[in-house]
Amino acid sequence: MYQLVNVMKTYLLIPMVWALLVAASAKAQHGIMPTTSKSVLIPIGIHPSGHVITPIVIDKKHRHQSAIIGFNASGDTLFTGGYKRGQLHGTWQSWYPTHQLCDSGRLVHNVPDGEWKSWYSNGQPRSIRTYNAYLLHRIKNEIPRRGGRATFFTVTDIAKTDLAYAWQLLTPVYSYVTLASKAANPHIPTPRALEDRVEQNVDNSILPYLPPFTECIHDGLYMNYYTNGHVKDSGYYNKGLREGVWEEWINDGAMRSTGVYHKGVRQDTWKYYSPTGRIVGVKTYNHKGREISSKRIGPRNTTNSEQASLD
């Protein structure tokens, strides 16, 4: 009899839960959201927020796959993303309050995979990154075994002498900080909770862009842009490190420098240009990335902008 009562309670509870989810989903679809001064976002359970968050409804698509949508107090959509077993999984997009797209990409269990793009609030492109989720998994598994005889990744070799730097290469922060027109306050911790990261991005694009993920591996095309739409720098990453030709420009579209990377360090000859396109200097690097020679080209009375190009 006791077991029968428990079974009946279970079967009664399931319809009640689903009824509550359906009702809440209907309210969300009709713009009926809780009134709060903060953005209403669902925490992903990885980095708890420092303030109280009212979770939004998870729209159940089927048994194991879900989707999440973040709204602000006005009911405007701030982000949409796939959500699977407590992790971001699937297509991700977020928007500024003006409905301008802020970022877009795809995640596999909280890790970006493939091309990831971001935009400034004025609609100009901000960055392009290419990530590889499976590669990150392999490197993370190899680093703890870095003392073995054979390694497959240069990042693992780096970890043998500088473990902290190797782990830094598996995070996204360093690749976005140079795009900020105003540096973040070093005394204020970087937001870790998903809702805080999105809120910083859509509220103020002059600070460093914070993607919704906290670990990644760069592998492919890498580009940064100025707010006026001109390219700032571009090149390629191979398994977490810069590889091949790299080019840098100043904000009016003129070339600043060009050279080659190999396994993340500068190699051979790098050329530096003035804003007018004149070569103002050449630097040479050895196979370890150390500068072995530097030569200034042209008159010594260079302008400040030409000196900056060489430096």
Q: What pLDDT shows up at residue 46? A: 35
Closest CA to 161 of 147, 149, 179: 147
Q: What is the DSSP letter of 80?
A: E
Q: Which residues of 293-310 are buried (b: 16+ CB within 10 A; e: fewer)?
A: eeeeeeeeebeeebeebb
Beta-bridge partner residues of 242: 237
Residue type, 66: S
- Please give the helix or strand (H or E) that residue 292 lies within, else none: strand 291-296
At residue 256, the pLDDT reads 93
Nearest to 229 by CA among 212, 247, 252, 248: 252
Give the pLDDT confidence score for residue 194 in this predicted structure.
Answer: 81
Closest Cα to residue 260, out of 268, 248, 272?
268
How far apart, in whole angstroms, are the C-alpha atoms of residue 120 and residue 225? 9
Alpha helices in 162-249 (DSSP H): 163-168, 194-203
* Spans of all domains in the chain: 1-32, 37-242
Alpha carbon distance 244, 292 (integer Å): 20
Q: Any idea which residue has 């009824």 for tokens?
A: 19
pLDDT tens, per residue, the chain with 311 residues: 444 444 444 444 444 433 433 344 333 333 333 333 333 444 443 333 343 334 433 444 444 458 888 877 777 888 889 988 888 999 999 999 888 999 999 999 999 999 999 999 999 999 999 999 999 999 999 999 888 778 899 999 999 999 999 999 999 988 887 776 666 665 666 767 787 788 888 876 567 888 999 999 999 999 999 999 999 999 999 999 999 999 999 988 899 999 999 999 999 999 999 988 899 999 999 988 899 999 998 765 555 545 555 55
Q: Which helix (H) or strand (E) holds 19?
A: helix 2-29
Structure tokens at 80: 């949409």
Q: Which pLDDT value is given to residue 68?
A: 83
For residues 71 and 94, give the distance between their C-alpha atoms in angstroms, rounded to a whole number: 10
Give the model's pLDDT for residue 269: 94
Q: HSE of 284 in the Cβ direction (CA atoms, 13 Å)? A: 6
